[in-house]
Structures are given as structure tokens and as C-alpha cells.
Chain A
Amino acid sequence: MGANDSTGIASAIGQPVLRKEDARFLTGTGQFTDDVTMTRQTHAYFLRSPHAHATIRAIDVKKAKAAPGVVGVFTGADLTGVNGLPCGWLITGTDGKPMNEPPHPVLAQGKVRYVGDAVAIVVAESIDQAKDAAEQIEVDYDVLASVVSSVDALKPGAPQIHEQAPGNRCYTWALGDKAAVDAAFAKAAHVTKLDLVNNRLVPNAIEPRAALASWSRADDAYTLYVTSQNPHVERLLMTAFVLGLPEHKVRVIAPDVGGGFGSKIYLYPEETAMVWASKRVNRPIKWAAERSESFLSDAHGRDHVTHAELALDKDGKFLALRVQTTANMGAYLSTFASCIPTILYATLLAGQYTTPAIHCEVTAVFTNTAPVDAYRGAGRPEATYVVERIVHQAAVETGIAQDELRRRNFIREFPYQTPVALNYDIGNYDQTLDAANEMADVAGFAARKAEAKQRGKLRGLGYASYIEACGLAPSNIAGALGARAGLFEAGEVRVHPTGSVTVFTGSHSHGQGHETTFAQVVAARLGVPVDNVDVVHGDTGRVPFGMGTYGSRSLSVGGTAIVKALDKIIAKGKKIAAHLLEAAESDIEFHDGKFTVAGTDRSKTFGEVALTAYVPHNYPLDKLEPGLNETAFYDPTNFTYPAGTHICEVEVDPETGVVQVVAFTASDDFGNIINPMIVEGQVHGGVAQGIGQALLEHCVYDTSSGQLLTGSMMDYALPRADDMPAFQVDTKVTPCTHNPLGAKGCGEAGAIGSPAALMNAVLDALAPVGVTHLDMPASPHRVWKAIRQARPNA
């Protein structure tokens, strides 16, 4: 199996160390939010809007309040002094004005704007009593016309969702040099045009969102257990912006969290209302979403409609890219909604290519649907889909081989300044393309295609050479672009007197294996066994601060904060060792867990130094504080740029339209790797979600009623084991130049490259029957229909 149970010293880096966290998950002793129970705990049920758009004339809660077991019923009218939920990124439009930012009430205020919009919270002794009481609430709705598609919402006469957003427009924003793009198109030898829909997705972490809120009369303090990827951000937003509570009086704990994929980044109405209500009822309140609630109320992903044009010269060199996108924001702006189709999307449109001129215009639109925000990849899968689909189409139109057209346009000199604001520090795109070609046996594809044809099947091969920007990112630049928060990370390293170590990180692990990877980093640096290092995360009461986990930033940003704290530990250790060894501090070297006087065999172990720090009998107390506990905050100087090539091979049954993914190959460059086993697992999972998007998943609202049609796992097709192929994955390394770990991030790459690779493969397979366009998901019905439309008499 090639994996180690535990490993020592410097060799910990790059080893497939088995995960520390597995012991509890495999024995049922993990502690997820819904597993936590408090004495005198009550249960919450949220009454949600059954209508996509309606005015609330009146709400009568009298009967519900008198129902058996009810402890409290609250509606928007009760939340006096409570602000709306904030959006964390201000986008300034092409008109120079700030985006339209309508209020996002915790509980509906006079109007509901999507099916599932929370109207009231019912708190009762049992969940059944809370549900029964909710049925007694009488809401007098005046139902209004609704609109669910972003394109329809922009049309004249469309239902108006917010007074503060005329025409349902949140903003129109642009990036790039329009004049340069227009000039390049004017002299192009060939122009490829494409209309694309990036289908709306429901994240579906397998643990539904949950919360347990309590208030203590003893110290007027709150504790919130919540399914969050970033508990400090949750606390800051909730206390400072919404509830007006002192931040130090609220402890937010995100214990074991069962997957997030972006959907657990945000501050949601439910836990906010529960914290507020916990003091009113003076009882702990528990809520766990039912899956149907998750479908209705978790922030959704993607939902872009795009027109793109690529200009090429006669040799297939890209001259310019022009992109226009309409992005669906849903009914309200979720926490980071506004930056996803802008800052994290348009900036990636250079891809791996030297395209000298790029212009992208994005219109963000309110609709009567659940809020849309970051979902695994967040803007970058959408950008990659545009770039790699249009490059595929350009290759088809120009007759240049898919890999050759990409090679002709690869960036090869670094650092590289793109025309869309990013500065790529390093990469080697030929390397990953070549490796993918070899692993996927592209040379043998023609024979496999011919063999498939004998069986009546259409075989296709598709490429996606993606890039992403991870490790968000310099706070000053993000601030200039509208971010309302910093984007650093914090780490604390506490060395105990016996030399074992506890690390407190602001990153949050909800499947990524930080407890192991971060322990490997610490073990390697301090020369202690991995088993002597514990990693604590997800608790504002224990961790100094944190921005949390999203955007594949945990190792490159959170890991670097830990490395910076380790540097301080070692620097202090050298002072202590110099004292003990009666040598100059500058002569002390630290290797393999030992402080040594350079050029001698005189040394002190890390454990001896740690003990001296806490038992400072022989210690320079006049010059140095006792103890060995250091904290560091790290703010990156640039994004990191993971990149790679994915190749997908499919077989289509033209009789049924069924697409089978027969092979999927990923060659990725994530920079230096700490734990290859975990990295491979991240790629597998990302690819599965990308294949899910391209093949199966599709969130659909009924256009006339605004009802969610795909509201359960029986209507929304999640990938299952028999939908997936075995994956071939491999990594190449160009170390990131600007963080000490040389790490770039690996969490999202799989979901970024795979949708385009799969759709390109499907279109390659369908080319012989005349199908030239298909939108995701490539479901049997859609594929079958496309074949029939292309060949009506077939």
C-alpha cells in the first residue's frame, strides 16, 4: 500500500502518512455538530416560504405559541435591532457605482423572495413539536410573479425583486482592455464563437448544515456549535455586523464538519436567528437541516450564461478573448457571492495561454432562487470551462490537434503578467500536458475509437489544460479590489515542557486531513515524531484567529503561518541552547531535532531545550522570557497558481444517449507536496464533483412557479460509485516561489479541469454524427436529443 502508520523527523515531508483523524471517524467517535447534546436542549424548526415571490400581508403565530411543547416563536418582526446578513466583497460597476446591495434579512421582513426563504423560527421541546407548531402559523401571502433565470430577470417587464436593485441588476462589471481586444479581433484570421451555460449546482456536503446555540446567564456569553468552514469569520460577521454582540462574548465551535465544498463558508440566517433566540428562551437550541432544507437553503453554485469569442491568427496563436457573462446571484447576496463571478472568474480567463488581450464583462442578477455563492473552485471552474471549451472548438474549426493548439499558446516564461490582473509566478504547462498525454495513452486512442465503433459506440477524447488562483491572497490587493476582510491566516505553535507540540490553526479541516498534513510539517521542522504533534482547529475559544478554509488555501497560507511560528520557536530555542551550551547564538545550528554548536558534537535535543524553557533554573531570565509558545500571522504576497492537464475519454451509446466515462487522467502541478496520499484523494474527489457537474447534476427551478424541481437526492443526481471510473492521477512539481513550503494547493483542481475535459470528450465523440454543441449535464436525454436533432432521419 506504500503508506506509513507514522514516520519520524525530516522524512515526514512527502510521505503518505496515514491520517490521524481516521481513528475517530472509523469507530463512530467523531463529533459532528448534530452529535453534540446539551442539557435542557430545545429544537428549532424553520418555517420557510412555499412561494418564490410574495408579499407577507400578515403572520399570526398565536396558535403556534400555544401549541404543546413550544418554547418560543419568532418572526422578522421580533428581530428588532438585528441587521441583515452582510456581503463580504464590494464590487464597483463599470458605471463607477458600488453594486446594488439590498438587505438580506435574517427572517423575512414583509416579503419572501425564494422558495425556502426563512419566515419564522419555532423553538420547542422536541423537533416533532416544533414542526407541529409551525403548521399552526398562519402566513397571509400575496403571491407575486417570479423569475428564476438570470437572463429572464434582465428583460424589460421582469418581476422586480428588490427596490434597491432596479432591473434586478446587482452590478455590471468589466475587466481588461476592450479597445485592444476589439483591435485584435479586427485583424484575426479566424474567430471562434461559443454560447455556454454553466449549470447550477447544489453542493450537497453529506453532513447537512446544523447548529447548536446556547447562552449563559452566568457570563452573558454565547456558544455556537455550527457546521462552518471558518468559525472566526462566522463570529466576526455575526457579532459585529448583524447581532451587535461583543465578539469576545461569543464562542464559535466548528467541530468535525462533514464536507463543505464552499457551502459552509457563509453566515446563514439559521444559526444567526438561533444565537439571538437562545438568550430569549434561555435554553440551548439545536437545529439540523433535513436534506430537503439543504436543497432549498444552502448556497448554490455556478449558474452562468456566457457568450465567448476567441480570435486567432493564421498559425493558431490566440490574439484575443472576449467574454460576456450573466451570473445568477439568487434572491440575496450571500457572504462572498459578488466576488465569485468577477474577481475569481474573469481574472482566470488567460488560462495557461499567452492571449495578449482579454476583455470580460459580467452582469450579476437577482432572481427568485436560493442565494448562489462559492462552490468548489468558485469562479475558476466557470473560467476554465469557457477557456477550454472555446479552445477545443477553435481546434475543431482550424483542424489543429487539440494538444498542439494548446502547446502553440502555452506561457513558458515566468513570472508572467496576464492581461487580466494576475501575475503567475511559476509553472510548466508542457510538462503536465505531456505527462497526461502519456498516461492517457492518447497515441492509442484512434485504435480504441475504431474498436468502439465496431461495437456501435462513439468514443471521444477531451482535454482541459486549466489554471487556478489559490491561496487567497494579499490582503492589500484584495482590499483594493473590494474585499471587506483580510485574507491572512494565523497559526500558534505551543511546545509543551516535554517537547510534544500542539498546533492551533485558523484553517479548518472538513475532510482535507490537516491534522495529519500540518503535523507532518511540524514534525519535519522540529524533528519530533508525527505522533507527538496534535493539531487543533475550528474553535474561536482555542485558536487565536483564522480566516478558515476555502480556495485551496489551507497549506499555502495556513501552513505557512505555522511555519512562521515554527521559525520563531527555533529562533528562541537557539537562544536557550546557546545559553545551555555556553556558545554564541550565531553558532547554534538546528537540524534533526538537535541544537548543535557549529563544527562540534556539542548539542542539546529539542526536548531538553523545551524543558529548560518551562523549568528555567539555568536560563537567561534577564534577557529572555520563559516558555516556548509562538504565534504568527501570514499574509501571502501573491496567489498561488496550481495548473495541469486533464484528459477524459468517454464512450457514448448513440441509441440511448448514455455517456460512460471510460478513463479520466489528471496530471497536476500543486507545487511541493507534503502528503501525496491526501493530495491524490483531493484530486479524486474534485474530479468526481466535476464529472458530476458535467454528466449528472443539474439544479432546476420551474420557470413559471419558481418551485425547486430538483429538491431531493431522488431528483438531483449525485455521482455514485457506479457512475465513476477509476482515476489515473499524477503530479509534477514546480514549487511555488513565494511561500516557504513551495505549496500551491490541491483541493479544487479536480473540479476545475474535469467539466471541460468531459464535455470536450463528449463533443469529440459526437462530432461524427454532426453534434456541435451541448450544454452540461450530458444526460442521456440531452445527448440522445442532440443526436436526433443533428440527424433527424437517423
Chain B
Amino acid sequence: MSVSLALNVNGKPVSAEIDARTLLVDFLRNNLALTGTHVGCDTAQCGACTVHLDGQAVKACNVLALQANGRAVVTIEGLAAEDGALHPMQAAFRACHALQCGFCTPGMVMSAIDLVNRHPNADEATIRAELEGNICRCTGYHNIVKAVRQGAAEMGR
């Protein structure tokens, strides 16, 4: 069943005719070629597909594209400024070597920003607990936790 969809993605209006069962992650990747949002599991565990929906982190593999109708989606591609300047969280991930293979990274950064929005002064235990929904197999999380703290400090400036 084909349905109409209109939403805002990374600050730009987007409309499309899609199959009603299309997942948001597949719409972003296949229809909009925004391949920075990744699919790492099929049980909403790994968080590699995390995007912001109206400013809140959601797992795009668990959201129908239709559920985003009329709403605003921000993906990893939409974080940096027009001039290419990285978002403070992106910059902190780089400065702290908080990524290795880079596959979980987009989802991790999107979750981290949401985490800081909700807990601007999160301590280490809070950061670790809040990142429970994002799995990284490379870093052991040590540098991710460091990056989130550094990114939080920069976002607070």
C-alpha cells in the first residue's frame, strides 16, 4: 500500500510516496541516500540507527517512516554547520578517539547529544547508564564516555 509522506529532514522539507510498511531507517537510507544512519541489528538493541525525531533520540529501525509524517528528523548528516564546522559532540568524539570502525558512531553521537540535552551535567555513571542502548564493539566505551563529558562541556558553553 502506497502512502504519502511529508516531513522535514535535516532542515529541509521532504515528501515521497512510500510503501506503508517502510521503516524510517530504510526511508532515510534508500529513499534519501542518507547512509550515515546504519543498521546493526534486528532487535532494536545496538542503536546504530539512532536519529533525532523532533529533537528526541529514537531508533530508526523501530519507527515507521509514516510515524515521522509532519515531524522533523535530524540525522548524523545534519549535525555539522553549513561551513563544515563539526557539532561539539562530533568534535569531542574525534578529539577523544571515541570511534574506531565508525559503524556505531553516528548512532552513538546522536544518542550522546540527546543524553546531554536531558542531563547537561551527567556524571560518568549516568553517561554509562544512558548509553545502554548503543553498542560499540571496538572502543570498550572508555573514550566514548570521555568524549560525552567533553562534548557536554562544549555544548554547555
Chain A positions near chain B (C-beta within 8 angstroms): 1, 3, 16, 18-19, 21-32, 34-35, 37, 204-208, 256-259, 261, 288, 290-292, 510-513, 677-678, 680-681, 684-689, 712-714, 718-722, 724, 726-727, 750
Query: Which among B95, B109, B134 has the highest number of chain A CB atoms within 10 Å?
Result: B95
Q: Which of the candidate stretches B43-51, B52-60, B65-73 sits at the interface with the other chain? A: B43-51
| CA distance in complex: A288, B145 (Å) | 30
A677 to B142, CA, bound (A): 12
- Sort A-B residue pairs by CB-CB distance and give the 7 closest, nearest first: A28-B36, A258-B103, A25-B102, A688-B140, A511-B101, A511-B100, A713-B45
Q: Which of B46, B93, B129 contacts A26 (CB 8 A)?
A: B93
Which chain A residues border B15 with CB–CB below 8 Å?
Answer: none
Q: Tell me, yes or no, whether B117 is within 8 Å of chain A by CB.
A: no
Contact B101–A258 (Cβ < 8 Å): yes
Indicate whether B104 reaches chain A with its CB closer than 8 angstroms: yes
For B45, the chain A residues whose CB sits under 8 A away are 712-714
In the complex, are the beta carbons of A257 and B101 less than 8 A apart? yes
A256 to B38, CA, bound (A): 13
Q: In whole angstroms, what is the CA distance A25 to B75 when docked?
A: 13
Given A26-B105, A720-B132, 16 further pairs, Cβ under 8 A: A23-B94, A25-B102, A26-B94, A206-B135, A258-B101, A259-B103, A513-B100, A677-B97, A689-B137, A713-B46, A714-B45, A719-B141, A721-B132, A721-B134, A721-B136, A722-B128
Query: 1/0 contact trace for B118-141 toward A, CB 8 Å?
Result: 000000110111011011111111
Residue in B132, B137, B143 whose beta carbon sits within 8 Å of that of A681 in the complex: B143
CB pair B128 A724 closer than 8 Å: yes
Q: Which residue of A lies closest to B79 (CB)?
A: A27
B76 at the interface (CB under 8 A from A): yes
| Chain A, Cβ-Cβ closest to B140 | A688
Q: Known A28-B34, A28-B36, A720-B135; judge A291-B41 contact (CB<8 A).
A: yes
Contacts of B41 in A (CB 8 A): 208, 291, 712-713
Q: Name the one of A256, A685, A714 contacting B43, with C-beta atoms under 8 angstroms.
A: A714
> Which residues of the partner chain B approach A31 to less than 8 Å between Cβ atoms?
35
B128 to chain A, nearest CB (A): 4
Partner of B39, one of A29, A288, A722: A288
| Listed A/B pairs (14) with beta-carbon separation below 8 Å | A25-B106, A27-B90, A34-B38, A206-B135, A256-B103, A259-B101, A261-B137, A681-B97, A681-B138, A684-B141, A685-B137, A685-B139, A712-B45, A724-B128
Docked-complex contact A687 and B35, CB < 8 angstroms: no
Which chain B residues border A27 with CB–CB below 8 Å?
36, 76-77, 79-80, 86, 90
Contacts of A511 in B (CB 8 A): 100-102, 138
* Contact status A712-B42, CB under 8 Å: yes
Binding site for A on B (CB under 8 A): 29, 33-43, 45-46, 48, 75-77, 79-80, 86, 90, 93-97, 99-106, 109, 124-125, 127-129, 131-132, 134-145, 150
Residue contact A22 to B94, C-beta cutoff 8 Å: yes
Q: Is the CB of A291 within 8 A of B102?
A: no
Task: Please indicate the chain A residues that have their CB under 8 angstroms from the CB of B38 in the complex.
Answer: 32, 34, 206-207, 258
Tell me if A721 and B43 are in contact (CB < 8 A): no
A721 and B94 CA atoms in complex are apart in Å by: 19
From B29, B75, B96, B136, residue with most partner A Cβ within 10 Å: B136
Check B140–A687 contact: CB distance below 8 A.
Answer: yes
User: A25-B102, A32-B103 are known contacts. Are A684 and B142 too (CB-CB below 8 A)?
Assistant: yes
CB of A745, distance to nearest CB on chain B (Å) = 16
| Contact for B135 among A19, A22, A24, A713, CB less than 8 A | A713
Chain B residues contacting A23 (CB-CB under 8 Å) are: 94
Q: How far is the CA of A258 from the CA of B46 in the complex (A)?
A: 13
Q: Is the CB of B43 within 8 A of A713?
A: yes
Asked if B99 and A26 make an inter-chain contact with CB atoms under 8 angstroms apart, the answer reads: yes
Asked whether, in the complex, the Cβ of A722 is within 8 Å of the Cβ of B102, the reply is no
Complex interface: chain A residues within 8 A of B43 (CB): 291, 712-714
Do B128 and A721 touch across chains, with their CB atoms under 8 A apart? yes
Residues of A within 8 A of B39 (CB): 34, 208, 288
Q: How far is the CA of A290 from the CA of B145 in the complex (A)?
A: 28
Q: Name which of A259, A261, A721 has the most chain B CB atoms within 10 A of its CB.
A: A721
> In the complex, what residues of A have CB within 8 A of residue B132's CB?
720-722
CB-defined contacts of A34 to chain B, threshold 8 Å? 35, 38-39
With beta carbons under 8 angstroms apart, the residue of A3, A25, A292 that contacts B95 is: A3
A607 to B140, CA, bound (A): 42
Nearest residue in B to A28 (C-beta to C-beta)?
B36
Residues of B within 8 A of A719 (CB): 140-141
A510 to B99, CA, bound (A): 11
User: CA A722 – CA B127 in complex, angstroms?
Assistant: 8
A291 to B135, CA, bound (A): 13
Instruction: Output the residue of B127, B134, B137 with the most chain A CB within 10 A.
Output: B137
**Contact check: which of A22, A30, A259, A724 meets B138 at CB < 8 Å?**
A259
Cα of A259 to Cα of B41 in the assembled complex, Å: 14
Alpha-carbon gap, A714 to B140, bound state (A) = 19
**How many whole Å from B81's CB to the nearest CB in chain A?**
11
Most chain B CB atoms below 10 A, which of A37, A259, A292, A727: A259
Most buried by B among A26, A35, A512: A26
A261 to B137, CA, bound (A): 9
* Nearest chain A residue, comparing its CB with the CB of B150: A1
Contact A21 B137 (CB under 8 A): no
Inter-chain contact B100/A718, CB cutoff 8 Å: no
Contact A206 B103 (CB under 8 A): yes
- Closest Cβ of chain A: how far from B85's Cβ, in Å? 11
From B96, B125, B137, A206 is in contact (CB under 8 Å) with B137
Closest Cβ neighbor of B91 among chain A residues:
A26
Bound-state CA distance A687–B131 (Å) is: 19
A35 touches B135 (CB 8 A): no
* Of the residues A16, A30, A685, contact of B100 by C-beta under 8 Å: A685
CB of B31, distance to nearest CB on chain A (Å): 12
Which chain B residue lies CB-closest to A36?
B35
Q: Is A22's CB under 8 angstroms from B93's CB?
A: yes
Q: Would you call B142 and A726 a contact (CB within 8 A)?
A: yes
Evaluate contact between A19 and B137: CB separation under 8 angstroms: no
**A713: which B residues are within 8 A, CB to CB?**
41, 43, 45-46, 135
Q: Are A1 and B96 in contact (CB under 8 A)?
A: yes
Q: Are A206 and B46 in contact (CB under 8 A)?
A: yes
Residues in A with CB closer than 8 Å to B109 are 26
Q: Are B141 and A688 in contact (CB under 8 A)?
A: yes
**Distance in Å from the Cβ of B21 to the closest Cβ of chain A?**
8
CB of B58, distance to nearest CB on chain A (Å): 17
Which B residues touch A24, using CB under 8 A? 102
Out of B75, B96, B137, which one reaches A28, CB within 8 Å?
A: B75
A206 near B90 with CB under 8 A, answer no
Q: What is the bound-complex CA distance between A290 and B42, given in angstroms?
A: 6
Q: Which of A208, A513, A686 contacts B40 (CB 8 A)?
A: A208
Measured in the bound complex, the distance between the Cα atoms of B74 and A530 in whole Å is 33
B135 / chain A contacts, CB cutoff of 8 Å:
206, 713, 718, 720
Distance in Å from the Cβ of A731 to the closest Cβ of chain B? Answer: 15
In the complex, A685→B106 CA distance in Å?
A: 18
CB-CB < 8 A to A205: which residues of B? 101, 103, 137
